[in-house]
Amino acid sequence: MKTEIQPPQKTWYLVYTKPRQEVLAQENLVRQGYAVYLPQVRLMRKRQGRQVAIIEPLFPRYLFIYLDTQKDNWGPIRSTFGVASLVRFGSEPAKVPDEFVAHLKAQEGLEGLHEWAESKITVGDRMRVTEGPLKGYEGILLAQSGQDRVMLLLDMLGKEVRTHLSTDKIEPADR
Q: In this structure, what CATH number is given to the domain that contains residue 157?
A: 2.30.30.30
Q: Is the dihedral of CA 36, 41, 45, 50 positive or negative?
A: positive
107 within domain boundaries: yes
- Reduced to 3 states (helix: H, G, I; strand: E, B; else coil), residue 164 is strand
Q: What is the mean pLDDT of residues 101-125?
A: 81
Q: Which is more confident, 72 or 22? A: 22
Q: Is residue 37 part of a domain?
A: yes
Asked if residue 65 and residue 33 are part of one domain, the reply reads yes
Residues 51, 28 share a domain: yes
Residue 86 lies in a domain: yes
Per the structure, the complete domain to which residue 35 belongs is given by 10-115
Task: Say what percent of the chain tops pLDDT 70.
Answer: 86
> In this predicted structure, which of 16-25, 132-141, 143-152, 164-173 has the lowest mean pLDDT?
143-152
Confidence of residue 157 (pLDDT cuts 50, 70, 90): confident
153 is a domain residue: yes
CATH classification at residue 62: 3.30.70.940
For the stretch 34-57, pLDDT in tens is 999 999 988 776 677 676 788 899
Cα-based distances in Å from 25 to 13, 14, 55, 128, 159: 14, 12, 16, 43, 54
